[in-house]
Structure 1
Amino acid sequence: MLTNFRFIFLAFFIFASRVQAVGVNWGTSASHPLPPLKVVRLLKSNNINKVKLFDADSDVLQALSGSNIGVTVGIPNTMLRSFNASKKASDSWVHDNVTRYFSNGGTGVRIEYVLFIPLWFDIGFGFTFAFPFLALLLSTVSALKKCGSNTEEFRAEIGFWIRDGEKPCLVFIFLVGLMNQLTGIGTGYVAVGDEPFLQSYGEQFHPFVIGAVTNIQAALMKAKLDSKVKVVVPCSFDSFQSDSNLPSKAHFRPDVNKTMIELLTFLDKHGSPFFVSISPFLTLLQNRNTSLDFTLFKETAHIRNDSHKAYKNSFDLSYDTVVTALSTAGFPNMNIVVSKIGWPTDGAINATTYLAETFMKGLMNHLHGNLAAPLKLRHPPSETYLFSLLDEDQRSTASGNFERHWGMFTFDGQAKYHVDLGQGSSKSLVNAQDVEYLSPKWCVVNNNKDLSNATASALDACSNADCTALSSGGSCFNISWPSNISYAFNSYYQQHDQKAESCDFGGLGLITTVDPSMDHCRFSIEIRTSHSERLRVYYHQWIMALLIATLLAGFCRLT
């Protein structure tokens, strides 16, 4: 009964979240990522209850367990070929990254990850720390058997079923069921691929999309999760074309049309929404006919007319382009989710904190009740995922140096601007707390040395670090020589954990404790990365495991 209640609650949660829900994209392409548990606390502090991931990182998924945050788990494009070719690979992926975080239904209560206990792990410095948990595991299984349970699964994470037919164990089952509900993860979607139809990719992923979604869907059905977890494919906005650059003539690109029809048929059959990216910033960057005011929801923007419809902003025009293309393809009622939308704050002209704040405020006002015609005449997006939560200093810059600066928060979880996300949060974003940094020291150029080769050294440093802020229009573009050399040196130094040799540069580098930051150009100090966060998680899990085993043994002795 408790298990069934959990699934009723989850189904209600997924349904209710489809009313103008706002979530965020959480990418982890960073040299020193903010620890997942701190990111989850950051999400909860800002009342963000939906998150879209680009992969299935076990530490991230573990941190999200018990958070009641709805999750879209991503499958990278590089895995599509494998899932297209192998049902076994799809089954394994779903088991490892989805099934673990759900009960399978029926009358049983499944415990998994609640009792995740590594028998050993490396704590650094070349030492391996072992724990004598074998006796605990054996006593737990023995107690389960005494309670009349049928142990169907016993792996490193101790996933097993507890049948609720034995009255002596009802109290224990209640406790476990409560823990299972508290430690579950609210997965709503599996995103197969990350914009595999992006035009710059060519057709390298096209042949594998339909086979991959079919096999992932079959794996979810096999795990009896298909009614709770929907399969989607995030699509890039350049999947559409319009001869007039206006919505009324929109359609899918000819090279993706056949595959897209197959995908839409699949989505429609299984009740999955259409995930699509909309980027007014990229539209502004690529289209000279689009004004900045038009992208920022400004009242002064020049209205664009199309077939008796007046568009006051870039978002409405782009969204209606998607709606028209879907209608043209024969799917006028397809549910739409905006899977990525945002504004970068550095690395390019118009990529500034001020413009990002202006855009985000305009978007939030627009989504939360201020929808203008003609969009309000059609169904608005059921969910919108802001791009992105955090800056990522190792994200690909193929599209531009701004790609590493989409975050509403800096890499260390500090808010860049003020915005009301409309979910009961304050109008000011809440910063991450208790962030641990490396020592307060920087690497700068030694002005007492011959700097004739300094530029070459800086270019070499930037090829292995992040110097995107030095780009034209970037926050550090206007700093003078040799300060820009120092910026490059420091970026390399920080990304390499402040190792003394990483500030050598042929004798041109100098380590200092004086912050060289200036004006709007920040010389960052990286986050300290260690095993301490994971150790704390494991510690609490061991205590919980010991408590459960003790309670179980005690209850069963009463019989």
Structure 2
Amino acid sequence: MAATHFSLPLLLLLRFVLVVESGIGVNWGSLSTHRLPPPIVVDLLRENKIEKVKLFDSDPDALRALMGSGIQVMIGIPNEMLGVLSASAAAADLFVSQNVSRYLIKGGADIRYIAVGNEPFLTSYQGQFQSLVLPAMANVQQSLVKANLASYVKLVVPCNADAYESSLPSQGTFRPELTQIMTQLLSFLNSNGAPFVVNIYPFLSLYGNTEFPQDYAFFDGSSHPVTDGQNIYYNAFDGNYDTLVAALNKIGYGQMPIVIGEVGWPTDGATSANLSAARAFNQGLISHVLSNKGTPLRPGVPPADIYLFSLFDEGQKSVLPGNFERHWGIFSFDGQAKYPLNLGLGSGGLRNAREVRYLPPRWCVANPSKNLDGVSNHMKLACSVADCTTLSYGGSCNEIGEKGNISYAFNSYYQLQKQDPRSCDFDGLGMVTFLDPSVGDCRFLVGVNDIKSSSSCLSRGIFGVTCVEIDVVSSKLTVLGYIDQNTVVKAVRKTGRIASDWSYHRHTARNGNFICSGCESGRRVTVSGATQEHSEETKAPIMKKSFLKRKSYFSHRFLMAVCLKGK
């Protein structure tokens, strides 16, 4: 069955709905050290009635999981791609084809926005991307027009709040070197019915300025309000927001809709980053926005949407801004709510992720029978790879003592390595324990058993990445591939040699044939496959029908085959 694209009238109708709606969304980043499988993440979003999600790329696994969910999606173009997209219309066509058109089908992913770059005008980039943004947008826009998607998918540019400046909100202006490009950008956004997207972080104002009034960062009223003529600002969010409104006014776009692309509060890694502060800020923000009070310069007009930053902690983020960078999640890495939070979406408090598969309950700790005098290099190694930021000053594990610090570092590395026994050696200074070494609020984690983290991608085709996945813990070889009658998916052993050829032979009858030519004698084979129309049977040896699960990916077959050692 051919992919069915939305008709233009339907696109326009849905676009109108988008304009009049406002709501709470989340940022779903991809830099977690222990990533939950995307279907579990999408289930988590739906359980919490979150209907808007912002990605920082166009990860095919995430987009496939979002298909049919009804969740509105903003995908991202990384800054590093701006060069090629600004220089090549063909590259833009390919991007739209591979990352937008193929998902905007009946039952597909509801992509509403494409973020062209992420904070490309940040002062620390020193103008590196400044000249690339508008040409890249022009090329991608033309590609959307060719694909008949320009009325539905809108291009935006998430900007950092350092793009504008002022000591008082009413005097807000864009940075002098950005005035011309912002005027051009706003003209582009306005002509295409797109909002201005900005990231606002009151936490960073507090973190970077010891004289910043702490209560001004929150929403309970401040003993240090900012008086600006007849307007009084009791929180930093409103002050920052109206500084942008004033800057927009000055160049003729005072009515431009504003979307908050990122806003949040971290829970660890700094003295002001903790659970109670994060809960107070995020709950105050949500209540403030949903009250529809607006701000002094836009009374009764709240942001069109806000995207909380972020859904999960991300242990691979750079800590150059501070150790708190890895702890913005409202959920921990494994999808467990960190604190009570009512998103105002009808779900009440946050609901935890379901069906999360963990590694076995065991931890790597410092061996108490060993002399630990020479442990510093091992700790440096562990923390250069794994996340040890909770051990820093102000962190939740800052006061667990020297041996506790060593054990925490060892365990973080051990879990990141999927509990490989060799990763707990440290020249004999580490040992595996089955007793949870967590102390108070300092949690020693157990990793998520996600076999995808050890995957080896073979090829990228029209249906994305075909991967061979190896579960090191259970010595299973798994092949995941998107196949039709003309595709052969090849699996690779841990050694890298070809192990199996999988091919699908299409039949007009209800049952199909999956043929495994590479599994050795003495192994049993399980195969699962399904389409939108029917489940598949198999003629591979010793089939267990319990492995057959209904899945729906376009109208093509989805094959999952596992060769297991043993009987």
Query: TM-score normalised by the shorter chain: which range applies?
Result: 0.7 to 0.9
Structure 1 residue 357 corresponds to structure 2 residue 357: no
Contact 1:20 1:367 in 2 (8 A): no
Q: 1:177-256 maps to which residues of 2 (within 5 A)?
A: 180=106, 183-242=107-166, 245-256=167-178
Aligned to 2:17: 16
Could you tell me which of 336, 340, 346 is aligned with 1:414?
336
Aligned to 1:166: none
User: Structure 1 length as normaliser, TM-score?
Assistant: 0.80
Aligned-residue RMSD, C-alpha: 2.3
- Secondary structure (helix, strand or coil) at the match of 1:23 reads strand
Q: 1:523-538 maps to which residues of 2 (within 5 A)?
A: 523-530=444-451
Distance, in Å, in 1 between the alignment partners of 2:85 and 2:481 is 35
Contact 1:10 1:186 in 2 (8 A): no
Distance, in Å, in 1 between the alignment partners of 2:481 and 2:89 is 37
Distance, in Å, in 2 between the alignment partners of 1:444 and 1:276 is 43
- Secondary structure (helix, strand or coil) at the match of 1:101 reads coil
Contact 2:38 2:65 in 1 (8 A): yes
Shift of 1:475: 0.5
Distance, in Å, in 1 between the alignment partners of 2:102 and 2:280 is 41
Contact 2:28 2:56 in 1 (8 A): yes
User: Structure 2 length as normaliser, TM-score?
Assistant: 0.78
Aligned to 2:217: 295
Contact 2:40 2:353 in 1 (8 A): yes
Aligned to 1:468: 389
Q: Which moved more, 1:329-338 or 1:538-547?
A: 538-547
Shift of 1:536: 11
Could you tell me which of 362, 366, 374 is aligned with 1:453?
374
Give the direction of change, closer, same or farther, for the CA distance of 1:339–1:412 in structure 2 (3 Å limit): same
- Secondary structure (helix, strand or coil) at the match of 2:390 reads helix
- Secondary structure (helix, strand or coil) at the match of 2:24 reads strand
Q: 1:95-494 maps to which residues of 2 (within 5 A)?
A: 95-103=97-105, 180=106, 183-242=107-166, 245-369=167-291, 371=293, 373-377=295-299, 379-426=301-348, 428-494=349-415
Aligned to 1:78: 80
Contact 2:6 2:104 in 1 (8 A): no
- Secondary structure (helix, strand or coil) at the match of 1:89 reads helix
Contact 2:293 2:299 in 1 (8 A): no
Contact 1:345 1:352 in 2 (8 A): yes
- Secondary structure (helix, strand or coil) at the match of 1:16 reads helix
Aligned to 2:544: none
Question: Identity percentage over the alignment?
Answer: 47
Give the direction of change, closer, same or farther, for the CA distance of 1:536–1:359 in structure 2 (3 Å limit): farther
Distance, in Å, in 2 between the alignment partners of 1:274 and 1:541 is 44
Shift of 1:193: 0.5
Give the direction of change, closer, same or farther, for the CA distance of 1:419–1:537 in structure 2 (3 Å limit): farther
Letter paired with 2:253:
F
Unaligned runs of 5+ in 2: 453-468, 470-477, 484-526, 537-567
Give the direction of change, closer, same or farther, for the CA distance of 1:504–1:230 in structure 2 (3 Å limit): same
CA deviations 1:344-400 (Å, max 9, x no partner) are 001111110111111111111101115265154273211111100111111121211
Give the direction of change, closer, same or farther, for the CA distance of 1:15–1:383 in structure 2 (3 Å limit): farther
> How many residues were matched structurally?
466
Distance, in Å, in 2 between the alignment partners of 1:13 and 1:40 is 22
Give the direction of change, closer, same or farther, for the CA distance of 1:289–1:541 in structure 2 (3 Å limit): farther
Distance, in Å, in 1 between the alignment partners of 2:327 and 2:246 is 31
- Secondary structure (helix, strand or coil) at the match of 2:27 reads strand
- Secondary structure (helix, strand or coil) at the match of 2:25 reads strand
Shift of 1:225: 0.1
Aligned to 1:135: none
Contact 1:316 1:375 in 2 (8 A): no
Distance, in Å, in 2 between the alignment partners of 1:536 and 1:436 is 22
Q: Which moved more, 1:393-402 or 1:530-539?
A: 530-539
Aligned to 1:147: none
Contact 2:391 2:405 in 1 (8 A): yes
Aligned to 1:164: none
CA deviations 1:489-524 (Å, max 9, x no partner) are 111111111111111112111111111100000010
Contact 2:294 2:302 in 1 (8 A): no
Distance, in Å, in 1 between the alignment partners of 2:15 and 2:324 is 33
Which has the larger share of helix? 1
Give the direction of change, closer, same or farther, for the CA distance of 1:287–1:328 in structure 2 (3 Å limit): farther
Larger RCO (CA within 8 A; separation ≥ 6): 1
- Secondary structure (helix, strand or coil) at the match of 1:34 reads coil
